[in-house]
């Protein structure tokens, strides 16, 4: 941990720290998506002067009109933030006015499942010309260790015509340097039990002063900042957290497949194991991984590991098990229909839930998207219902033109397939009316019926 009392603060860094501590600072947030927009609201509530930057003009228009485009963020929150001075813009010259700039842009995989850093590179190129001495720039996007030091900083330095450099550990006190840190976003979408403020914020600077500046800023909106020794530790910490989740989900998914063959209820097993007060954390099996994080982030590390002649076997195996789950679900639907003497081809199937997890409106990488394709490849007739997605059009890896079906005529489907266990569904009623229910989430827990097939 850095020894804060021994740090050499330049005059300009001291001024910034004061502005972060008394919340008089101006903060720019780049990327107004699931991470960046809630961050703007938190900063704005805390009294900072916040400007959001994006290249998506529709998002800027919505925010400027006080509208929200993320389900869990009410329009009232946007309007309140606007009263506090929050503005959204595509005018990147306004970055020059900011004391701190927080980057929250996507980090997907390419079609060859390699890290796609194009959004970080584009953002760095857009930020570089406007950098000011003493400004703090923090990368929040999840990525492999080394991205901040090896990719972001060189782009910020080379694109900056005034020749400003990032403050480094071994050359402290550059009068006109800017400061760079990495601080991962740890939000858990849909989790209403942990307040965002209570999630400790990990901060690792390119130099110790950057760590301290970023920690001071985040302490204005989070109860605790966890200072670490550098950007790589902070980058790796985020990946460890997500790989831990990915591997454990793969483990319960594999044990689910085995338990089904053995006639054992895996969900009862997990609930029972969870009664142990130490050494066990419950993870839930499901139809496959989804979201912008767990199916993607581990492969950022696998890719980087190759540079060190290292094969990340746990990550590869977990990926293999989790990616096989949609196919497994389709086999189970075929099996369940078979028991009712029906073929999968030609059967009418209603999928419940398009979001990758319950009670949220995010369908990125959702297994439901894959399962639609697999069912259609077997000539099943597929419809879906999801209160969070009245329509599903086109995305990065899908091109559907579907509208959410009504739940009024459940009787007309040969099978109702539960893929996302949204709490708004009345599962007793669904089981009562459907001819067959295939449940991949244990949403029908406690309901006894010969027409329910849990898998
Ligand atoms: N969504 C989550 O729950 C979550 C949780 C933890 C970490 N993360 C990480 O946070 C990062 C952002 O994820 P997200 O879910 O908010 O993504 P998102 O797609 O919801 O939002 C990203 C935003 O960045 C904008 N953008 C893209 N390129 C830009 C550019 N060059 N300049 C300005 N804006 C640009 C997009 O228009 C979009 O509004 C990713 O690295 C992700 O892995 C996400």
Is any atom of ligand 1 closer than 6 Å to the C-beta of 35? Answer: yes
Residues paired with residue 253 on neighbouring β-strands, in sequence order: none
Residues 409-412: contacts with CB under 8 Å, at least 24 apart: 410/350, 410/434, 411/435, 412/348
DSSP state, 307?
Answer: T
Is any atom of ligand 1 closer than 6 Å to the C-beta of 119? Answer: yes
pLDDT tens column, 435-444: 999 999 999 9
* Claim to verify: residue 334 and residue 198 sit in the same structural domain: no
* Claim to verify: residue 282 and residue 221 sit in the same structural domain: no
| pLDDT value for 135 | 97
Domain that holds residue 259: 236-323
pLDDT-based confidence at residue 397 (cuts at 50, 70, 90): confident
pLDDT tens column, 74-89: 999 999 999 999 999 9
pLDDT tens column, 226-253: 999 999 999 999 999 999 999 999 999 9
Which ranges of 343-420 would DSSP assign to H, the alpha helix?
Answer: 367-377
Closest residue by CA, ligand 1 atom 37: 56
| pLDDT value for 175 | 74
pTM: 0.94
* Claim to verify: residue 188 and residue 219 sit in the same structural domain: yes
**Domain boundary residue among 229, 247, 275?**
229
Closest residue by CA, ligand 1 atom 43: 142
Residue whose pair of structure tokens reads 């957290």 in the numeric block: 241
Total domain count, the chain: 3
What distance in Å separates the CA atoms of residue 256 and residue 286, rounded to the nearest whole number?
A: 9
Structure tokens at 401: 């033109």
> SS3 of 238, please?
helix
Average pLDDT value for residue range 185-212? 93
Q: What is the mean pLDDT of the chain?
A: 95
Is any atom of ligand 1 closer than 6 Å to the C-beta of 32? Answer: yes
Q: Tell whether the model's pLDDT for residue 281 goes beyond 90.
A: yes
* Claim to verify: residue 175 and residue 34 sit in the same structural domain: yes
Q: Are 99 and 27 in contact (CB under 8 A)?
A: yes
Question: Best mutation site among 34, 59, 182, 190 for ligand 1, i.e. most ligand atoms within 8 A of its Cβ?
Answer: 34
Residue 37's alpha-carbon distances to 54, 130, 180, in angstroms, are: 10, 22, 21
Backbone angles phi and psi of 439, in degrees to 5: -115, 110
Is any atom of ligand 1 closer than 6 Å to the C-beta of 34? Answer: yes
Q: 10 or 364: whose pLDDT is higher? A: 364
pLDDT-based confidence at residue 3 (cuts at 50, 70, 90): very low
* Claim to verify: residue 315 and residue 346 sit in the same structural domain: no
What distance in Å separates the CA atoms of residue 404 and residue 390, rounded to the nearest whole number?
A: 5
* Ligand 1 centroid, distance to 118 Cα (angstroms): 12
* Claim to verify: residue 186 and residue 108 sit in the same structural domain: yes
**Domain boundary residue among 170, 195, 229?**
229
CATH code assigned at 69: 3.40.50.720
* Ligand 1 centroid, distance to 169 Cα (angstroms): 29
pLDDT tens column, 146-189: 999 999 999 999 999 899 999 998 776 667 899 999 999 998 88
* Claim to verify: residue 184 and residue 278 sit in the same structural domain: no
Structure tokens at 273: 């194991």
Q: Are 402 and 384 in contact (CB under 8 A)?
A: yes
Closest residue by CA, ligand 1 atom 41: 141
* Claim to verify: residue 74 and residue 202 sit in the same structural domain: yes
Q: Tell whether the model's pLDDT for residue 2 goes beyond 60.
A: no
Give the nearest ligand 1 atom to 35 CA. 16
| pLDDT value for 177 | 93
| pLDDT value for 207 | 95
pLDDT-based confidence at residue 6 (cuts at 50, 70, 90): low
Is any atom of ligand 1 closer than 6 Å to the C-beta of 53? Answer: yes
Is any atom of ligand 1 closer than 6 Å to the C-beta of 188? Answer: no
* Claim to verify: residue 82 and residue 216 sit in the same structural domain: yes
What distance in Å separates the CA atoms of residue 246 and residue 315, rounded to the nearest whole number?
A: 8
| pLDDT value for 176 | 85
* Ligand 1 centroid, distance to 400 Cα (angstroms): 23
Q: Tell whether the model's pLDDT for residue 66 goes beyond 70.
A: yes
* Ligand 1 centroid, distance to 108 Cα (angstroms): 9
Catalytic residue among 104, 293, 415, 455: 293
* Ligand 1 centroid, distance to 104 Cα (angstroms): 5
Query: Would you call 455 a catalytic residue per the annotation?
Result: no
Is any atom of ligand 1 closer than 6 Å to the C-beta of 105? Answer: yes
Is any atom of ligand 1 closer than 6 Å to the C-beta of 30? Answer: yes
* Claim to verify: residue 126 and residue 256 sit in the same structural domain: no
| pLDDT value for 4 | 47
Closest residue by CA, ligand 1 atom 26: 31
- By DSSP bridging, strand 87-89 and strand 348-352 are unpaired
* Claim to verify: residue 139 and residue 187 sit in the same structural domain: yes
| pLDDT value for 173 | 65
| pLDDT value for 233 | 98
Greatest C-alpha distance within the chain? 79
Is any atom of ligand 1 closer than 6 Å to the C-beta of 242? Answer: no
What distance in Å separates the CA atoms of residue 326 and residue 378, rounded to the nearest whole number?
A: 13
* Claim to verify: residue 289 and residue 343 sit in the same structural domain: no
**Domain boundary residue among 182, 214, 229?**
229
Residue whose pair of structure tokens reads 């550059």 in the numeric block: 174
């Amino acid at each position: 941990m850095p020894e804060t009392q021994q740090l050499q603060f330049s005059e300009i860094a001291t001024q910034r720290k004061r502005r972060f501590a008394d919340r008089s600072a101006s903060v720019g947030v780049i990327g107004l998506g699931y991470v960046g927009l809630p961050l703007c609201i938190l900063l704005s509530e805390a009294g900072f002067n916040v400007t959001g930057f994006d290249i998506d003009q529709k998002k800027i228009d919505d925010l400027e009109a006080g509208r929200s485009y993320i389900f869990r963020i009410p329009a009232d929150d946007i309007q309140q933030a606007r009263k506090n001075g929050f503005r959204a813009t595509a005018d990147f010259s306004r970055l020059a006015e900011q004391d701190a700039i927080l980057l929250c842009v996507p980090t997907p995989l390419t079609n060859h499942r390699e890290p796609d850093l194009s959004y970080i590179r584009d953002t760095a190129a857009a930020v570089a010309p406007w950098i000011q001495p003493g400004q703090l720039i923090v990368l929040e996007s999840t990525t492999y260790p080394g991205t901040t030091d090896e990719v972001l900083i060189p782009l910020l330095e080379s694109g900056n015509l005034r020749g400003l450099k990032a403050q480094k550990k071994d050359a402290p006190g550059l009068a006109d340097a800017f400061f760079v840190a990495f601080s991962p976003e740890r939000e858990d979408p849909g989790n209403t039990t942990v307040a965002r403020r209570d999630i400790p914020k990990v901060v690792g600077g390119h130099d110790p002063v950057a760590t301290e500046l970023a920690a001071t800023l985040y302490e204005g909106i989070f109860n605790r900042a966890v200072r670490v020794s550098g950007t790589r530790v902070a980058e790796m910490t985020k990946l460890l957290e997500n790989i831990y989740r990915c591997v454990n989900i793969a483990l319960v998914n594999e044990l689910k497949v085995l338990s089904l063959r053995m006639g054992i209820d895996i969900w009862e097993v997990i609930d029972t194991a969870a009664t142990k007060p130490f050494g066990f954390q419950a993870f839930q099996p499901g139809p496959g991984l989804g979201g912008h994080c767990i199916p993607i982030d581990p492969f950022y590390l696998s890719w980087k590991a190759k540079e060190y002649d290292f094969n990340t076997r746990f990550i590869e195996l977990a990926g293999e098990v989790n990616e096989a789950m949609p196919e497994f679900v389709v086999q189970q639907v075929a099996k369940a229909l078979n028991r009712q003497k029906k073929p999968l081809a030609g059967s009418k199937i209603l999928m419940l839930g398009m979001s990758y997890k319950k009670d949220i409106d995010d369908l990125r990488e959702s297994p439901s998207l894959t399962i639609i394709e697999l069912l259609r490849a077997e000539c099943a007739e597929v419809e879906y219902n999801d209160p969070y997605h009245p329509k599903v059009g086109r995305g990065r890896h899908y091109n559907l033109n579907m509208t959410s079906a009504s739940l009024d005529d459940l009787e007309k489907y040969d099978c109702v397939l539960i893929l996302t266990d949204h709490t708004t569904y009345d599962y007793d009623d669904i089981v009562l009316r459907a001819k067959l229910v295939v449940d991949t989430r244990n949403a029908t827990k406690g309901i006894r019926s010969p027409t329910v097939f849990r898998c």
